[in-house]
Amino acid sequence: MSGHSKWTNIQHRKSHQDFIKSKKFSKIIKEIYMAVRESGSNNNSFRLKKAIINAKSLNIPKITIEKTIQKALKNNKNNYKNLNLEGQIQGISLIIECITDNSIKTTSNIKFFFHKNGGRLFHNGTLTHLFNRIGIFSIKKKDIPLSMDDFELISIDFGAKEIRKDEKKMYIYTDFKYFGLMKNNYEKLKIFHKSIIQQIAKHPKYISKENGKKISNFIEKLKENENIKNIYSNMVIK
């Protein structure tokens, strides 16, 4: 029986991993679709470039990527849009970024999940003041055609709020309002970079390990919704 039980557990874990992978696959395909709808097949579209890189990291076939791009260029029926939701559970605030072609259904599903677990959704704008929207750039030092001092100075001119570095990379933090300007200026200088936009809590809320584990599990289960792209919280586990 023990051998059978072990095999069953392995199969269960594999099925769960396959399920998560399929959800990630679906999210990335949607992101490619939206990037194309936003800017066409523009090779300079940062959003499209990033989506394709993410797709390749999951070993999504090139032909699938190309079909998605062509479908987005031709099809006007599937209209994926960005949808941001705000919620709380056990006093922890969450910002949930979604991609969906059915805002009502997506909102309803997420609202039900919150209520089932003792949380609730709020009207948009209720919790956003608790977070700062920032841009983060990651650049390999070898890709910078300037001295490090000059690079730091021009980055400050572009709007950098903070600059960190390690042996191989530079990390530049900026307010969201300067994100587009910095990205365009780095591209003009042909400085290859990776960048993300994140919601950072202004006043983190510290909670115990026990409660932190419960909320972390809640967030992980919430992420299984294929329409959810990112989730940000003000939680810090002591």
For residue 208, the domain's CATH number is 3.30.70.980
Rounded distance between C-alpha atoms, residue 60 and residue 11, angstroms: 23
Q: What is the pLDDT of residue 4?
A: 43
Angle (CA) 86 175 192, round 5°: 110
Domain boundary among 74, 91, 111: 74
Distance CA 147, CA 102 (A): 49
Taking only the tens place, the pLDDT of each residue in 142-192 is 999 999 999 999 999 999 999 999 999 999 999 999 999 999 999 899 998
Which of the four pLDDT bands, split at 50, 70 and 90, describes residue 22? low
Do residues 106 and 98 touch, judged by C-beta distance below 8 A? yes
Structural domain ending residue among the three candidates 40, 74, 108: 74
Domain limits for position 28: 2-74
Predicted local confidence at residue 170, as pLDDT: 93
Q: Is residue 138 located within the same domain as residue 224?
A: yes
Alpha helices in the chain (DSSP H): 2-39, 46-57, 62-74, 103-116, 148-158, 176-188, 209-222
Residues 42 and 97 in one domain: no
Q: Are residues 67 and 91 in the same domain?
A: no
Give the total number of structural domains in the chain: 2
- pLDDT, one tens digit per residue, over 44-92 is 677 788 788 878 877 888 888 888 778 777 765 557 788 999 999 999 9
Q: In the sheet where 120-122 sits, what is the strand order?
A: 120-122, 81-89, 92-100, 228-233
Q: How far apart are CA 109 and CA 12, in angstroms?
A: 25
